[in-house]
Amino acid sequence: MGAGRFAPSPSGPLHIGNLRTAILAWLFARSTGRDFYLRIEDLDRVRAGAEAVQLDELEQLGLDFDGGLIRQSDRLPVYLEIANELKARGLVYECFCSRKDIAEAASAPHAAPGAYPGTCRNLSDEQRAQKSLERPAALRLRAEVNEFSVHDELFGSYTGMVDDFVLIRNDGAPAYNLAVVVDDAASGIDQVVRGDDLLSSAPRQAYLAQLLGYEIPSYAHVPLALNEKGQRLAKRDGAVTLEEITEQGVHPAEVRSFLLESLGLPGENLQAALKAFNPSSLPREPWVVKPENIVQQLMPPASNNR
């Protein structure tokens, strides 16, 4: 059997929506006899000290991981090597477009919403040489399909757009879609559980995995935690991190119970939840959180000692 993973970006403390997804990833992996890995996706948005805080939060919830900690920043040469392999196969080209260029092209009539319009796909050698004097190039995949289908545990069959997405940014850093695919394959990860805001990325990543001869993982894109306005939960919404909640006298075990019960699972402990876990019974709708009520809900009566 393969492995699952949780892969946070060390940009700050994990809020309860992130922690809920981490618990779900653990449940999916353990319920299928898979190993469970932790990967720190630190190619972007790194905040000093955030990694240590996140590791502590996950430990307080009782989540356990197999193998050593994986950091993307330790693997930069690997991503560049894979990009060069694709380039040697004629599947990569230089792109000199700015974000403004892409936005303007995307707003043109008949442009596919959200897709890179292929502006730099067929530049001549002379055009590339001229543009390289103006700005450094990103490297894009020369996709040979317009869409790709994946199977998702919660959504079923999902077909999404595949465009010429970036593999290496113009600052030389590997892009998310490349790093994720390469890391999952290198770690033997064949089960990807993450927030459903990333569902539209799955066809691109699965297509790239196929190009590289990797096994396409199974996917489960789980509902996000939202505030009452229907926006993604964030620190601006109030006491939404484990630290903020426990500072007000709530034990981490109570937070874990709260998260498990929001999934329709018994809140006693992780093993009880694992025994009851059934993906087909998971909520399909977003989890709407009222941060101002969290601590009030979590503070147990004095007579109730879980």
Question: Residues marked as binding for L-glutamate?
Answer: 5-9, 41, 176, 194
* C-alpha–C-alpha distance, residues 128 and 4, integer Å: 41
Question: Which two three-digit tokens encode residue 188?
Answer: 């033997």
Distance CA 124, CA 143 (A): 19
The position carrying tokens 């490349």 is 178
The partner residues of 141 in beta bridges, in order of sequence, read 92
Q: Check if the beta carbon of residue 267 is closer than 8 Å to that of residue 261.
A: yes
Residues of each annotated binding site for ATP? 235
Q: What b/e sequence results for 147-176 when a residue is b if at least 16 CB atoms lie within 10 Å of its CB, and e otherwise?
A: ebebebbbeeebebbbbbbbbbbbeebbbb
Helix residue ranges per DSSP H, 142-195? 176-186
Looking up tokens 């879980």 gives 306
Q: How many CB atoms lie within 10 A of CB 255?
A: 22
Instruction: Report how far apart, in Å, the C-alpha atoms of 262 and of each of 7, 38, 162, 286 are.
Output: 22, 23, 34, 11
Q: Which residues are annotated as a binding site for Zn(2+)?
A: 95, 97, 116, 120
User: Residues annotated as binding site?
Assistant: 5-9, 41, 95, 97, 116, 120, 176, 194, 235
Residue 131 backbone phi and psi in degrees, to 5: -65, -30
Residue 66 CB-half CA count within 13 A: 14
